[in-house]
Amino acid sequence: MRLFFDESMGTKVPGALLHIGVPGAEDIERPKRGGPIQQGAADPAWLRWVGQHGYLGLSEDTAILQSVALVDLIRLSNCGLVFLKTGQAPRWEVLRLLLIRWEWLQAVERDVPRPFAFVLGRNRRARRVL
């Protein structure tokens, strides 16, 4: 599974996943200096990149789903996205949520035709929104 964490997710969660070597995580990317997506990149840039390269995008920025232009771009770019409704939760809780739902993330990435977007809540329930 190839994961892309947008800037709303910060650096600690993707860093922790890399550090522990979670099974099935072939590649984990995030905006960074010298990376495929630079820090501060606008949403359209990372959304296009996620779609073009077949990554599963993770974000806490659910406002993206309120923008008609960005939802259209998600469709056109053939994105697979999971939005976490974790608010101001500590990063360890976000990491815990991802690990608890790891098998589900793998199944979504593998089995759900793109484009798609899910919202995953702190209660561990997911609903498809696109």
pLDDT digits (tens, 9 = 90+) for 54-83: 999 999 999 999 999 999 999 999 999 999
Taking 3-state DSSP, the helix, strand and coil percentages for the chain, each rounded to the nearest 5, stand at 45, 20, 35
The pLDDT value recorded for residue 47 is: 98
* Average pLDDT of the residues in 42-54: 97
Which of these, 91, 85, 61, 92, lies nearest to 74 by C-alpha position? 61
Residue 91 pLDDT more than 90? yes
Q: Chain-wide mean pLDDT for the chain?
A: 96
Percent of the chain residues past pLDDT 90, beyond the cut:
92
CA–CA distance, 95 with 91 (Å, rounded to integer): 6
pLDDT at residue 38 in the model: 95
Per-residue pLDDT at 20: 92
Q: Is residue 43 scored above 90 in pLDDT?
A: yes
For residue 103, pLDDT over 90 is answered with yes
Residue 95 has pLDDT above 90, yes or no: yes
Say which DSSP state 63 is in.
Answer: G
